[in-house]
Structure 1
């Protein structure tokens, strides 16, 4: 990165923004990385960072309590130490186990390849390292202390130490009671790792021993009784052996870490990447940002014939000012920025303290934030180019030590900016230059000429140049070159104060005389200044008027084109309306014809029935009655068919009713006992239980308690055939105790899964998981998770004396 670009980032306030961003990180390594956040070197990298930010923020907002990074530590120092053959501390080694447990937990929270493809793939590529984690949890206890179970020799040494220390303590208590008269205090003290007694200075001959220390006054001696010296020496020898055994265990564990160095470093990199993405998302959500868009054409130069997209930022706000506002500062006035593709230079004019410099800094920070994967603080769409080069000349460069005036300082910085632009091959397509008070600090005439030449030079070499100025000559460039555009900060003439709103296409006035009048300058001086100002304004005004006339002509042509388009639209609307009315008339005629056919059919049927009745009354024998009955039956089949033919095909009476239905997520049903419609959220128990949302309520209901909105009964799914196969358990410890039993009652499902996973990682035998019976939701969810994880070899319900159906025995993979 060129030094001038780093200088521009400092001028824009990028380091302060990084400090705010680092406060949203979940881990110390994430905070440290965000404090020195670097910018990606290509567009694809920025797009991937934006995708990660969107995915992590969406998932974080969906989960109760958000994504959990607890237990994650920076593995770089530990891995570097172990790879060099060093011995890590138990606490540092235990951090590896807690980090791997955090990775498992994050995998469960981020496991949706469709909605979070980038984040899911990032974690899926990591190695689980279950053996390393299990070994660390087996050998280390809380706080990094080496456990007795880590080594039989260590356990034996500690057992001897415990016995000797108990014997030493008992003998000391006996001596305390025996020599109480010559002791300063009846308390056992420790000096240099040896147990001592507080003896009066003149009674050393009454209690022979080794003096290890004395009080400040010299009245008390801390003496180890001679009779206890051999026992103390034996304890020190065993303590040395204990330290050696602990060091041997730690050396073995450190070697295991060195063997898995690369997977651990990959895990650290993935966790850092996710932590930074989540911090970016939380920062953007806290300040009200939106994710920007990078038009593909913005990275191609106009010379290759690509049409660039306009730069569009609605209601853009300065992030540092928004941060101050949330801390109790003043409200931030947003601005709109819209630069058309053919425009290369924007000159912002207006009064002092009107917000011109804030506009420059807001745009510069928006470009840097979009490139770094951060949301941009604006209310509407954020469409802006991927800026490979963001350069700025903002502030006063006056320096007494370097003998530089304000003008000299600006010129030296502008020279470095021009050098960076000339050296960059992509500046024409992706370069943005921000200049504050261009042409100021010297003679106004010469300064205006220099500013005009500089802006025209920049228009040929960078994608966008935005400059603030008080030079009136720069306002006329728009009417000479269509690559230039004017903008101004508004000024309220009534209150004589700026409004901080940005107006496009309109040049602004500095309002120096109005501000001077508000500040109480002598009216005579102001009158004379206005008289001197009028002759110089005449030339500028004529040029501006000429430009405005051309602009008015373009607007008239656009209005004429719009009027012609409106006339064609109205003609098309009339044609469509006429066609629709004709169709409606034809539909009405067809319905009337079908209605008449139906009435004729009914009338004919009635006449036929009456004739049959008359025949039956006049018939002397049963044969004619039988024939009449057959004709009636035939008439019953013919008349409904005619009625159906003549009826309206869109009549609701002809809609087929659903003969049974199967529920699925998103379906709308009616809860019978409530008489209200509800939405199906989930289907459980092979389609027998439904999780519903009825207004603000969430409830569970059986299939028989709901019906379709048209009243149809549900069709029950065929129950699956379940085959249970019992096989004898592998030989191993099957005795339940407090160490291999975990109680999950009262926990939520994700909390229960995390607790069981931690217990399995440190267990070599079966684990008894108590979940209770209750509604069965915890048991079902837990067993579904046990089926999907690769930590479990098998599981089954416990024996009746161990809890039965309220407890599950889980066997970890070996």
Structure 2
């Protein structure tokens, strides 16, 4: 069975001409495993929109994790494919190879552990991670047998431990004996030096060659000069032999263990190979998310038709290089099928073609595109780019012949797309150039009409006047021009629609330095009709540039007004909050005064119970009246009814796709996309995430009228003429923490430090006023920085008595339990 092509409908020449390799090279650099890098360099570019949608969903999930500061743990995993293949063929792997496999299996386990609690937020990535083989027993067996240096541990088996212990003991015995011989004067007299060495795995002494008969033993070699012989003393031969046999036994046992471990790997070779494929997909999604972040890119919507709507598009290669890029809209909708791009040389016409072609390839790769919100692009089943000079001397093709050969191949792609029903993208640079202009223009018009008849869409650049007028009689063709600044004689790279552009050849020649006499002669040779047309085009271009500049000013002003309006709304909301905080502080003080008064009265009651003397009772009655008067004076003034703006919680009945909402813990507004029970999918600009319905507020604040509070006249603190008899004390309240629930939990995941601490301060203030004795703060693990900041702030918080990590049932170290003061 033949494998599906990696790039169906895309020729290698198109990939090369569009310089897509630069994008893939950067994508590979952003991967974190070698299997991911290898896959990124030669990715599959599916032509099925459903497959592309899956890739985009994976990229979106990885981007959401990145935005929340979470890092997918792609660590310790290497491409062990060839090693597991050897093990599957019953080959014995060495210890370093087995260690690499063990670390890879540990990497599988880390990915499974990371995504298990994130199945709702990242369902597709979690499915890939949870599809990794567990193989816990094999992993632990390998780590139990091999140390971090890639060597078998002594206790890899009981037999190996015994043999290695015996081997060490024999070495120690031999060294002790040979050290003793080095101290023997009778032996020292015949030695070249006072040391021993090992030759052929035997302990030997350096004996002078002329005195070899004075040292009984076996010669195992000599020095380069021949003056020294390395002799194994006769008395060491038996123990050296014993050591040699022990070393052989160690090697046999080590090979047995390695073979046994390799057999275990071989039994799971298919599962491990499948796991590596899943890792490549996870790593690829993570790299795509990181690449999108580098380019400030957007995940576009897949068009159900062949409509193209790319807003504020930037060339991705230029964006990656950090070059300031002019943003242009590229739009083909309604009846329009081809952009006919005209204008000066070096003005950005070919860059526009390259941008559109790269976007077609990047979309099929599941990448985000450097475009604005609202951009839409179809998945093109066929993509053909004909850019640059097609001359091929080796194939005996002129520039024009080579160009036609590639046009024939493009025509075949258009025909295939028509049969398959998939959109086809054609990008034609200087169509039908390289021959006589009249014939080239006619041929170009005929080709474009043929391609449009077959359903292709795309863009073409040209300097032919007849092609510039094609749109006048056929709505399938739209003129677009790259701008040219007449004052500076330089291109603006700004793309505008509706009118053709002048080639401005004379202006460019003048800027480059061609002499004036030659330019004047060229202008004279240019016919009156051509001069008139060029003048008209330049006037249109100037008017278009003026309108474009005015439009930019209007757009900037609108943006400024919207920004100011948002700042004003936030300021009003902040002022309201500060006013409410002041009132709460007043009430808090009043409550403290009440508590103090009640304590005073309780002590008076206790005294009266002990002493019922009338004079004592009267004095205490006066004291109570004075306390009551002071309490009234300290109460806040009666508040008038107030009309305030509030964001109200979203109820189950109100939650529906399209509803504007506010996510408090991210301080961002968005729109509901999906509703699944208590889980709601929300779109926040480029970010898509799943949150609990209980965590959402309405996007637009509502005007509420608060009830007028009742007069602050405290009720009499003592009603009875005489003290009531003492009542038994209530039973003590339970001392354990309450069960964690949303109403006593502050979720600050994804927030910056200052933002999180402000949110927590408000939350704890509310918990204190509500009379709670404990609350929870959910900060997650992340890098650990936010958790450390939060817990450090608790040390000086006026609301906090003490804190501790929550129990495992309450969320573990990702949650802090706060006991309130």
TM-score by length of 1: 0.67
- The answer for the alignment partner of 2:320 in structure 1 is 323
Q: Deviations 1:116-168 (Å, cap 9, x if unpaired)?
A: 11111222233422222222222222223222322111111112111111111
Count matched residues.
597
Q: Aligned match of 2:244 in 221, 233, 236? A: 236
CA shift in 2, pair 1:334/1:182, >3 Å: farther
Q: Deviations 1:668-706 (Å, cap 9, x if unpaired)?
A: 9xxxxxxxxxx999x975359765879535389899963
What runs of 5+ residues in structure 1 fail to find an aligned partner?
299-309, 552-649, 654-664, 669-678, 719-747, 753-773, 788-814
Alignment of 1:13 onto 2:19: yes
Q: How does 1:505-516 map to 2 (within 5 A)?
A: 505-516=498-509
- The answer for the alignment partner of 1:202 in structure 2 is 210
The farther-off stretch of 449-458 and 127-136 is 127-136
Alignment of 1:288 onto 2:296: yes
Alignment of 1:259 onto 2:285: no
- The answer for the alignment partner of 1:96 in structure 2 is 101
1: distance between equivalents of 2:760 and 2:118? 28
Alignment of 1:23 onto 2:29: yes
Alignment of 1:140 onto 2:146: yes
Q: Aligned match of 1:274 in 260, 282, 286? A: 282
- The answer for the alignment partner of 1:246 in structure 2 is 254
Deviation at 1:105, TM superposition (A): 2.3
- The answer for the alignment partner of 2:374 in structure 1 is 381
Deviation at 1:510, TM superposition (A): 0.8
- The answer for the alignment partner of 2:487 in structure 1 is 494
Deviation at 1:358, TM superposition (A): 1.0
CA contact (8 A) 1:389 1:432 kept: yes
Q: How does 1:500-539 map to 2 (within 5 A)?
A: 500-537=493-530
Deviation at 1:273, TM superposition (A): 1.0
- The answer for the alignment partner of 1:163 in structure 2 is 169
Alignment of 1:215 onto 2:215: no
CA contact (8 A) 2:418 2:454 kept: no
What runs of 5+ residues in structure 2 fail to find an aligned partner?
1-6, 545-639, 644-662, 667-693, 697-735, 785-800, 815-821
Q: Aligned match of 1:434 in 421, 427, 430? A: 427
Q: Deviations 1:297-343 (Å, cap 9, x if unpaired)?
A: 34xxxxxxxxxxx3121222222222222xxxx42323221111321
- The answer for the alignment partner of 1:707 in structure 2 is 766
CA contact (8 A) 1:290 1:381 kept: no
Deviation at 1:667, TM superposition (A): 9.9
Deviation at 1:73, TM superposition (A): 2.1
Q: Aligned match of 1:686 in 736, 739, 742? A: 739
2: distance between equivalents of 1:152 and 1:243? 14
2: distance between equivalents of 1:428 and 1:667? 46
CA contact (8 A) 2:9 2:383 kept: no
Q: Secondary structure of 1:186's match? A: coil
2: distance between equivalents of 1:437 and 1:4? 21
CA contact (8 A) 1:210 1:223 kept: yes
Q: How does 1:585-664 map to 2 (within 5 A)?
A: none
CA contact (8 A) 2:480 2:495 kept: yes
1: distance between equivalents of 2:420 and 2:503? 32
Q: Secondary structure of 2:43's match? A: coil
CA shift in 2, pair 1:458/1:245, >3 Å: same
The farther-off stretch of 256-265 and 443-452 is 256-265
2: distance between equivalents of 1:3 and 1:702? 58
Q: How does 1:183-202 map to 2 (within 5 A)?
A: 183-202=191-210
CA shift in 2, pair 1:749/1:50, >3 Å: closer
Deviation at 1:260, TM superposition (A): 2.3
Alignment of 1:453 onto 2:453: no
CA shift in 2, pair 1:260/1:4, >3 Å: closer
CA contact (8 A) 1:24 1:282 kept: yes
Deviation at 1:228, TM superposition (A): 2.0
- The answer for the alignment partner of 1:467 in structure 2 is 460
Alignment of 1:340 onto 2:333: yes
Q: Deviations 1:18-64 (Å, cap 9, x if unpaired)?
A: 11110001011111111112212311111111111111222134245
CA contact (8 A) 2:502 2:537 kept: no
CA shift in 2, pair 1:703/1:530, >3 Å: closer
CA shift in 2, pair 1:145/1:294, >3 Å: same
TM-score by length of 2: 0.66
Deviation at 1:716, TM superposition (A): 7.0
Q: Which has the larger radius of gyration?
A: 1
CA shift in 2, pair 1:105/1:751, >3 Å: farther
CA RMSD of aligned residues (A): 3.8
Q: Secondary structure of 1:481's match? A: coil
2: distance between equivalents of 1:201 and 1:501? 91
CA contact (8 A) 2:489 2:507 kept: yes
Q: Deviations 1:431-462 (Å, cap 9, x if unpaired)?
A: 10111111211111121111111111111124
Alignment of 1:421 onto 2:414: yes
Q: Aligned match of 1:314 in 308, 311, 314? A: 311
